[in-house]
Structure 1
Amino acid sequence: MNGNQTSRRWAGLVFISIAVSLIIVDSTIVNVAVPSIVEELKISSTEVQWVQEAYTLVFASFLLVFGSLADRFGRRRLMLWGVVIFAGASVAASLAPTGGLLILSRLVQGVGGAMILPTTLSIINATFRGRERGIAFAVWGSTIGGMAAVGPLLGGWLTTAFSWRWAFGINIPLGVVIVIGVLLTVAESRSDRVERIDGVGALLSVLTMAPLVFGLIEGRTYGWWTVATVPTVGGWTWPFSLSPVPVAFAVAVVALVAFVAWGRRRQRQGRSTLLALDLFRIASFRNGNIAAAVVSLGEFGIILALPLWLQFVIGFDALQTGLLLLALAVGSFVASGVAGAFSGRVAPVWIVRGGLLAEIIGVAGVAFTIAPDATWGPLIPFLFVYGLGVGLATAQLTGVVLADVPPSASGQASGTQSTARQLGAALGVAILGTVLFSTTAGVLASTLDDRGIPAAERDQVVSQVVDSAGAAIVGLDASPETQDLAINARAAFSDGTRAAAFTAAAFLALGLASTLTLGAGASRREPEAARAGETA
C-alpha cells in the first residue's frame, strides 16, 4: 500500500470521527440545553425524557436494519445519507415551536444517527488491519467519550450566548464538512455477497426495540402494571385498567422470540438474515456484546442527571455546566493516547477492565460529592477519571467484539454491536431517569410530611418539582414564602441525583464483572492481529 493511500485512509478516519462526533455531541448537547427548553417550551419531566429518549429509541430500533443495508448498498453511501437526514432534522429541531415538534424532530434525527454509527464502525473494520485497526478503534472510541463531554460545553456556550436552538443549528456546518471530507477521502465498500434484504426481520427488530424503550420511559408516568395516568392520544383514551407499559414489554418479548425464530428459519433455507446468528458462535463477538450492553447501562448515566442538578440546585448557568463537564472530555482524549501506546502490548480486555474500574471510581466519587451546598472543585478530578475510563473502555471493547468478524459481515456485526450499546444506553437512561425523579419525589414528600405540610400542598409541590425536572426549584426560591420549600427541594433533588449516580456505578461494576466472560482468547487477540497486520 503506497503512502498516498495510507494518508487517505487516515484522513478518512478524521472525517469518520467527525461524523461520530456529530451524533454523540447532539445526544449530549441536549442535556445542558434542557433547562432552557423547559423554560421556553414549558415541557414536563416526561417530555424531558422523551426529548432525550426519542432520539435513542429510533436510534436503537434501526441500527440492525441500517447495518445490514450498508453491507448491501454501500457503507459510505448510507453514512452520507444519514448525515444529510440528520442535518435536515436538526434544522427542524432548531425551529420547533412546541415540545411535541421538538420530539418529532429528534425521532427523525434518530433515523439519521442510526445510518451513521454502524457504517462508521464497518468502514473502519473493512479499511484497517492489525495494529492499525486497534489504533483506529482507539481514535473512534475516544471520540465518543470526548464528544460526550464536549457536547455539554458547546451546548452551554450556545445556549448562554445565543439560544438553545443553536445547539441544534450547529449540526448544519458540521454536516457540510463531513459530506465533503468523506467524498474526498473514504473509499466505498460493500459486501461481496448481495442478497435480498430481510424485511420481516427488520420489522421484528423495530417491534422489539421500540416498545421496550417506550415501556421503560413511560413506566413512571403510566404505571408499571395498573394505570396511574390514563394515556391519551388526540381524542382517543386508553380504555383499560392495565397500563400500556406491560403490554409494550409483552410485545417486545414476543417480537424478540419471533425475530430469533424467523432468523433461524431463513438461515436453514440458506437465505440472508438481518442479523447473522452464526456470528454469535464467535466467542469474542457473543460475550463482547453482552459486556457492551451491560456497560452502556451505566456509562453515560451521570450526563443525564448532573446538568439538571448543577443548574437547578447549585445555580450554574449552561456555560458553567459545560465548562465543568469539560474535565470528562479531557480525560477521554487523554485515554486516546494511552490506548494507542498500549495497543499491541497489552491485551485489549485488560485495557477494558482498567477503563471500567476508572469509570466506577469516577462515578462513585461524583456521587459522594453531590450535596445541596456542594462546590465544583471536588467534582473535577472525579469527572476526569470517569472520562479517562470511558475513553479506554469504549474503543477497546469495540475492537474485541469485532476482532474475529470477517469483513464481509462487518456491517451486520457493527450494527449488532451498536444496537447492544444503544439498547443498554436506552435502558440505562430510562432506569436512571426513573431513579432520579422517583427518589426526588419520595424524599421531598417525606420531608414535607415531617414538616406537617398538608397533603394537598405537599403533592402540589412534589408534582411541580418533578414534572419540571427541577426547574420549579428556581421559582420556589424566588418567593420569600416558599424559600423553605426550595431548600427541601434542593436536598431532595440532590438525593435523587446521588441515587442515580450510585445506580450508574452499580451497572458499571456489573459490566466489569461481565468482561470476565471474554476469557483468555481476548487476551491473545491483539498481538495476533498485530502480527497479521505486519505480514499483510
Structure 2
Amino acid sequence: MGQATAQEGAPAGGGDRRRWLGLVAISVAVALIIVDSTIVNVAVPYIVDDLGLTSSQVQWVQESYTLVFAATLLIWGTVADRIGRRRMLLIGVVVFVAASVLAAVVGSGEALIGARIVQGFGGAMILPTTLSLINAGFTGRERGIAFAVWGSTIGGMVAVGPLLGGWLTTSFSWRWAFGINLPIGLLIVVGVLLFVDESRSPRAGRIDLVGALLSAVTFATLAFGLIEGRTYGWWTVTKPFQLGPWTWSSGLSPVAVAFAVTLLAGTVFVVRTLRRTAAGRPTLFRFDLFGIRSFRNGNIAAMIVSLGEFGIVLSLPLWLQNVLGYTAFQTGLVLLALAIGSFAASGLVTVLSARLTAAAIVRTGIVAEIVGVAGLGLVIGPSTSWAAVAPCLFVYGFGVGLATAQLTGVVLVDVPVERSGEGSGLQSTARQVGSALGIAILGTVLFTTAGARLDSGLTDLGVPASARTAVVNAVVESAGGAIPGLAKDPRTAAAAPVAEQAFSDATRYAAFTAAGFLVLGLLATLSLGDPRGGRHREGYAASRGPSDGRPEPVAEDVPETDAPAVP
C-alpha cells in the first residue's frame, strides 16, 4: 500500500492491483481477531468440560482478552506511527498467533487465561494498525471503498465466527478454535510482506511511557467496570470477586473501586498530556485532533452507534440455543444471514459512493440496522422459526456493512496521514468503550427482564417462593443454559414454558433497547453536517498549541480534488 516511508502520504506504489491485494491481507488480519473472539464464546462449554474450569476461570478466559485489548488500543496505534505501521501489524499478528498456539495446547485454566492476555496485546496491535494503513494507502473515493471492505469484513466475521467455531468444536476439538489461527496468520504475514508497503510518521518522537501506562489503567478499569457491574454490583458486593487464589473481601464492590481508579488515572492523564503538549514534550497523543470537526463529531457518533451495534449478537445466540434448542452449528447457520447482508453492502458501496456523501451512506446503514434489530424484537418468541429471524439479520448485517466502514472513513478522513495510527487508536478506543457500555446495559436489560418475567410467571403458577428463587437464579446465572434442563426434569417441567417465554421477552426487550441506541446514533450523525465536499480541519491549527514546534501537515496528504464529499 502507500509507499510512505520517506514521504508520508505519498501516492501508493506498486500499482492498483498490488494495493488491493494488500487490502485483502489487511482485511484478513481484521477477520483473524474478530473470528477468534466469537469462536471462543462458542467453545467455552467444551473448554469447561475438558479443563475443569471454575466459574471464575470461565469468566476470565473471556474478560482477560477484552480488558487488555481495550486498555492498549490507543497505545499501539500511536506506537505504530513511530516504528512503522506495517511492522506493528506484523508484530501483532505474530504475537496473536503465538498466543493462539499456546492456548491450543494448554493443560490448565491458568495457562489458558495467560494465553488470552497475550492474545489481547496482539489483537490491540492489529486493529488500529489496519485502519491507519488504509488511511495512509488510499485516498478519495478509493478510500471509501477500502473502508467498506474493512467494515464488511468485521460485520461478516461476527456472524461467520460462531459457524466456524461450532463446526471446529463439535467436529474436532475446542483446541482447533485456537489452532486455526496458525495457518490464517501465516497467510496474513506472507500477504503483508508481499503487498503492503511500510508507512510511518517522519516526525515521530520518543514514546511517552508514563502516558501509556496511565492510558492503559484508565481504559482497563473502565472496561472492567462496565462489563462486570451487573455481576459484582455497582456499589456494594453482590457476588464474591476472585482473581486466582485471592478473593475480594470488602463490602464495597470492586466495580466501584475500578471506576474510582478510572476517574483518577484519567484525570492525571488528561492534565499531564495538556501540560506536556504546551511544553512541546512528547505525549501518547495530542488533543488537537479533536479540533478537527469530522474527527470529533465522528467519534461521538461512533461511540453511540457502538452501544447498539452488535448488541443483539450478545443475546440472540443464547435465545436460539436455550429456547429454540438449536446447536452451536445451527446457530451459526442462522447468524450467517448477518454476514451475507454485510458482504452484500460492501458490493453496493461503490455505486452509492458515486451518488451519496459518506455521511448519507452512514445514515442509510444505521436506518437499515434499526429496521433489522427492531424487526427481531417483533418476531422473537418461544416458537419463532429461523425463517422469520434470518431476513431481519440480513437487513441488520446490510446496515452494518454500510455504516461501520463509512463512519470510520468519516472519522479519519481529515486526520493528517502521519498521525493515522494515533487517530485510528482513538477511534477504535471510542468504539470499544461504546461496545462495553452497550454490553453492560443490554446485559442488564436481558437478565433483569428474564428474572422478573420468570418470577412473575412462576408466581402465577403458584410456585412457592423458595422454589421460585432457585429456578430464577438458575436460569439467570446460567444465561438461559438451565432452561433445557427444566424441561427434562419432571419436577420442573411445568416451569420450562414459562422460562422460555420469559427469556424470549427479555431478548425482545434487549433488541428494542439496541434499536433505541441506534436511533440515538442516527441523531448523533446529524452533527457531522454536510460541507459539500469541504474538509473539517478548521479547528486543527488553533488547537495544536504554540509550543508544538513542528511544521503543520500539508494539505497534499489527501489531494483536495480526490477527497470524497464528507460531512
TM-score range, shorter chain: over 0.9
Q: Which residue of 2 aligns with 1:141?
A: 151
Question: Would the aligned equivalents of 1:137 and 1:398 in 2 still touch at CA under 8 Å?
Answer: yes
The 1-side partners of 2:324 and 2:55 are apart by: 19
Question: Would the aligned equivalents of 1:347 and 1:525 in 2 still touch at CA under 8 Å?
Answer: no
Q: What does 1:338-417 align with in structure 2 at a 5 Å threshold?
A: 338-417=348-427
Q: Which residue of 2 aligns with 1:57?
A: 67
The answer to whether 1:302 aligns with 2:312 is yes
The aligned amino acid for 1:135 is I
Give the superposition deviation at 1:472.
1.7
- % identical aligned pairs: 63
Given the superposition, is the C-alpha separation of residues 501 and 37 from structure 1 closer, same or farther in structure 2, using an over 3 Å criterion? farther
Give the superposition deviation at 1:30.
3.0
The answer to whether 1:533 aligns with 2:543 is no
Question: Would the aligned equivalents of 2:152 and 2:400 in 1 still touch at CA under 8 Å?
Answer: yes
Query: Which residue among 514, 517, 524 is the counterpart of 2:524?
Result: 514
Question: Would the aligned equivalents of 2:533 and 2:563 in 1 still touch at CA under 8 Å?
Answer: no
Q: Which residue of 1 aligns with 2:40?
A: 30
Given the superposition, is the C-alpha separation of residues 47 and 511 from structure 1 closer, same or farther in structure 2, using an over 3 Å criterion? farther
Q: Pairwise CA RMSD of aligned residues? A: 2.4
Q: Which residue of 2 aligns with 1:278?
A: 288
Query: Does the residue aligned with 2:197 lie in a helix, a strand or coil?
Result: coil
String of CA shifts for 1:169-222, please: whole Å, max 9, x gaps.
211110011011111111111110121111121111111111111112222222
The aligned amino acid for 2:174 is W
Count matched residues.
534
Given the superposition, is the C-alpha separation of residues 523 and 482 from structure 1 closer, same or farther in structure 2, using an over 3 Å criterion? farther
Given the superposition, is the C-alpha separation of residues 46 and 220 from structure 1 closer, same or farther in structure 2, using an over 3 Å criterion? farther
The aligned amino acid for 2:362 is V
String of CA shifts for 1:139-181, please: whole Å, max 9, x gaps.
1111111111111221222223223332222111100110111
Given the superposition, is the C-alpha separation of residues 95 and 504 from structure 1 closer, same or farther in structure 2, using an over 3 Å criterion? farther
Q: What does 1:466-505 align with in structure 2 at a 5 Å threshold?
A: 466-505=476-515
Given the superposition, is the C-alpha separation of residues 50 and 384 from structure 1 closer, same or farther in structure 2, using an over 3 Å criterion? farther
The 1-side partners of 2:464 and 2:54 are apart by: 24
The 1-side partners of 2:508 and 2:39 are apart by: 22
Q: Which runs of 5+ in 2 are unaligned?
A: 1-10, 537-554
Give the superposition deviation at 1:44.
7.7
The aligned amino acid for 2:381 is A
Give the superposition deviation at 1:297.
1.1
The 2-side partners of 1:114 and 1:534 are apart by: 29
Give the superposition deviation at 1:50.
4.7
The 1-side partners of 2:322 and 2:51 are apart by: 17
The answer to whether 1:78 aligns with 2:107 is no
Given the superposition, is the C-alpha separation of residues 26 and 233 from structure 1 closer, same or farther in structure 2, using an over 3 Å criterion? closer
Given the superposition, is the C-alpha separation of residues 109 and 291 from structure 1 closer, same or farther in structure 2, using an over 3 Å criterion? same
The answer to whether 1:223 aligns with 2:233 is yes
Query: Does the residue aligned with 2:322 lie in a helix, a strand or coil?
Result: helix
Given the superposition, is the C-alpha separation of residues 93 and 298 from structure 1 closer, same or farther in structure 2, using an over 3 Å criterion? farther
> Quick check: 218-227 or 381-390, which moved more?
218-227
String of CA shifts for 1:379-408, please: whole Å, max 9, x gaps.
111100000000000111011111111111
Q: Which residue of 1 aligns with 2:444?
A: 434
Query: Does the residue aligned with 1:275 lie in a helix, a strand or coil?
Result: coil
The 2-side partners of 1:53 and 1:234 are apart by: 14
The 2-side partners of 1:38 and 1:324 are apart by: 25
Q: Which residue of 1 aligns with 2:170?
A: 160
The 2-side partners of 1:35 and 1:513 are apart by: 40
Query: Does the residue aligned with 1:480 lie in a helix, a strand or coil?
Result: coil
The 1-side partners of 2:462 and 2:53 are apart by: 30
Give the superposition deviation at 1:56.
2.4
Q: Which runs of 5+ in 1 are unaligned?
A: none
Q: Which residue of 1 aligns with 2:550?
A: none
Given the superposition, is the C-alpha separation of residues 454 and 48 from structure 1 closer, same or farther in structure 2, using an over 3 Å criterion? farther
Q: What does 1:227-238 align with in structure 2 at a 5 Å threshold?
A: 227-234=237-244, 236-238=246-248
Query: Which residue among 436, 439, 446 is the counterpart of 2:456?
Result: 446
Given the superposition, is the C-alpha separation of residues 196 and 499 from structure 1 closer, same or farther in structure 2, using an over 3 Å criterion? same
Question: Would the aligned equivalents of 1:57 and 1:426 in 2 still touch at CA under 8 Å?
Answer: no
Question: Would the aligned equivalents of 2:78 and 2:425 in 1 still touch at CA under 8 Å?
Answer: yes
Q: Which residue of 1 aligns with 2:7?
A: none
Give the superposition deviation at 1:410.
0.6
> Quick check: 36-45 or 22-31, which moved more?
36-45
The aligned amino acid for 1:225 is W
The 1-side partners of 2:278 and 2:559 are apart by: 36
Question: Would the aligned equivalents of 2:85 and 2:132 in 1 still touch at CA under 8 Å?
Answer: yes
String of CA shifts for 1:237-256, please: whole Å, max 9, x gaps.
43432212111111112222
Question: Would the aligned equivalents of 2:229 and 2:440 in 1 still touch at CA under 8 Å?
Answer: no
Q: What does 1:182-261 align with in structure 2 at a 5 Å threshold?
A: 182-234=192-244, 236-261=246-271
Give the superposition deviation at 1:27.
2.1
Give the superposition deviation at 1:29.
2.5
Given the superposition, is the C-alpha separation of residues 421 and 473 from structure 1 closer, same or farther in structure 2, using an over 3 Å criterion? same
Question: Would the aligned equivalents of 2:56 and 2:242 in 1 still touch at CA under 8 Å?
Answer: no
Q: Which residue of 1 aligns with 2:78?
A: 68
Given the superposition, is the C-alpha separation of residues 102 and 368 from structure 1 closer, same or farther in structure 2, using an over 3 Å criterion? farther
> Quick check: 412-421 or 127-136, which moved more?
127-136
Question: Would the aligned equivalents of 2:152 and 2:401 in 1 still touch at CA under 8 Å?
Answer: yes
The aligned amino acid for 2:184 is L
Query: Does the residue aligned with 1:346 lie in a helix, a strand or coil?
Result: coil
The aligned amino acid for 1:420 is A
Question: Would the aligned equivalents of 2:99 and 2:118 in 1 still touch at CA under 8 Å?
Answer: yes
Q: Which residue of 1 aligns with 2:123?
A: 113
Given the superposition, is the C-alpha separation of residues 426 and 101 from structure 1 closer, same or farther in structure 2, using an over 3 Å criterion? farther
Query: Does the residue aligned with 2:562 lie in a helix, a strand or coil?
Result: helix
The aligned amino acid for 1:219 is G
Query: Does the residue aligned with 1:371 lie in a helix, a strand or coil?
Result: coil
The 2-side partners of 1:210 and 1:519 are apart by: 33
Q: Which residue of 1 aligns with 2:303?
A: 293
The 1-side partners of 2:230 and 2:172 are apart by: 34
Give the superposition deviation at 1:355.
0.3
> Quick check: 494-503 or 266-275, which moved more?
494-503
Given the superposition, is the C-alpha separation of residues 103 and 444 from structure 1 closer, same or farther in structure 2, using an over 3 Å criterion? farther
